[in-house]
Amino acid sequence: MSRLKIGGRKIKYRVHRFNIKMTRDQSRLEQFLNSLEGEIVAIIPNVTPVPATYVDFLLIVEKVG
């Protein structure tokens, strides 16, 4: 868990790694996102290099507390 101090308040973030196969994991991703308690502030895809470009995992940043 990471913390960022803004205006005297500490804001906590949790970063999740979500392995994914984009062609078949839509419902699994949806269930995971709906199970999070905090606010989702970013979803960052990891795009593999060429020649076979695809997303193999997502980093999901959640603001907690």
Give yes or no for residue 46 having a pLDDT over 90: yes
Identify any residues that bridge with 34 across adjacent strands, giving them in sequence order. none
Distance in angstroms (rounded) separating the CA atoms of residues 51 and 38: 37
Residue 41 has pLDDT above 90, yes or no: yes
13-39 pLDDT per residue, tens: 999 999 998 788 999 999 999 999 999
What is the pLDDT at residue 51?
A: 83
Q: How confident is the model at residue 5 (pLDDT cuts 50, 70, 90)?
A: low
Residue 10 has a pLDDT of 83
Inform me whether the pLDDT recorded for 43 exceeds 70. Answer: yes
Q: What is the DSSP string of 52-65?
A: S--EEEEEEEEEE-
| Pair 64, 37: CB distance under 8 Å | yes
**Element containing residue 28 per DSSP (H, E):** helix 26-35
